[in-house]
Amino acid sequence: MNGHPTREEDFDLYALGALDGDEKQAIESHLAACSECARKLAAAKGRMALLAFAAPRVEPSPGVKERLMRQLHSTAEGRAYSPARIEPESMGGGFFGRWWAAVLAPAAVALALATIFLWIQNNRLHDEDQRLQSALRTQQNQIDELRHIADVIQAHDTVSVLLKPMPGMGQGTAQVLYNSGMGELVYDGWISPPPPEKSYQLWMVPMDGNPISVGVFNPVTADSSTWMAKMPQGVTAKAFAVTLEPAGGMPHPTGPQVLVGPAT
C-alpha cells in the first residue's frame, strides 16, 4: 500500500479481525511506517472495545461454582482429577445457557457491524454537509457581489465609459462604470482571449499623474464577463484603457492598447 487506506472503515474491520489476505498484509505494512494511520487504528480498537460493554452480562449458574470448588478441593488433596461429563447446568444454565450463548454471539457481531455502518454513514453525512455549506457560502458570496454591483450601477454619481477596440487589435468592446466617491468600478464586456503568456490589464488614466492599474484578467473565451475592482477613492478619471501585457500584469503600461475610452 503506497498511500493511506482509501476506506476509513478498513480500520474498524481490521480491529474486528475481519480483514485477511492481501488487505490485511497491506494495511499492516502501511501501519508500520505511518503514525497517523496508527492513531486511527488505535481509535478503531477503542470503539471495538466499547462494544464489549454493550452486551448484557450473563451470571453463571450455582452448579458451575459448586463443580469448580470440587475440582479445587480434589487438586489440593493430591487426588488426580479426571474430567467428568459436563452437567447441563455447568454450561451457563443448561438449555437456557446454550440459548443465550447462541443468541449473544451473533448479536454482538451484528451490533459491531451496525456500529461501523452508522459510523460510516455519519462520516458521509458530515462530508455532504461540508460540501453543501461550501456551496452555500459560494452562492452567498455571488449574491453579495451582485448586490454590490447593483449599488454601484444605481448610484447617481456613477460614470459610464465605453471602451472601443483600437485599429489592428483583437475584437471586443466593454463598458466601465466607476464611482470615484465609493472607490468602486464595474467592468462589463467581451474581448478575444489573449495570446499565450499574455494578460489583459485595465488602467485608469487620472486627470494628473500616471495610469493606475485596476485589474488583470485572462478570458478563455470571447463571452461577456462582468467583474468588480477597487480604484483610488476620490480620484477623477480622464480615460480608461485595456492593454496587452506579460502574463500576470505589469506595474505600469508596457504593451499595446486594445480597448480605449475617454471619461466624459
What is the per-residue pLDDT for 261? 96
What is the per-residue pLDDT for 88? 45
pTM comes to 0.50
What is the per-residue pLDDT for 117? 72
What is the per-residue pLDDT for 77? 60
What is the per-residue pLDDT for 109? 63
DSSP string of the chain?
--S--S-THHHHHHHHT---HHHHHHHHHHHTT-HHHHHHHHHHHHHHHHHHTTSPP-PPPHHHHHHHHHHHHHHHTT------PPPGGGTTSHHHHHHHHHHHHHHHHHHHHHHHHHHHHHHHHHHHHHHHHHHHHHHHHHHHHHHHHHHHHH-TT-EEEEEEEPTTS--EEEEEEEETTTTEEEEEEEEPPPPTTEEEEEEEEESSSS-EEEEEE--SSSS-EEEEEE--TTPPEEEEEEEEEETT--SS--S-EEEEEE--
What is the per-residue pLDDT for 90? 45
What is the per-residue pLDDT for 217? 95
Residues of the chain short of pLDDT 50, as ranges, are 80-92, 95
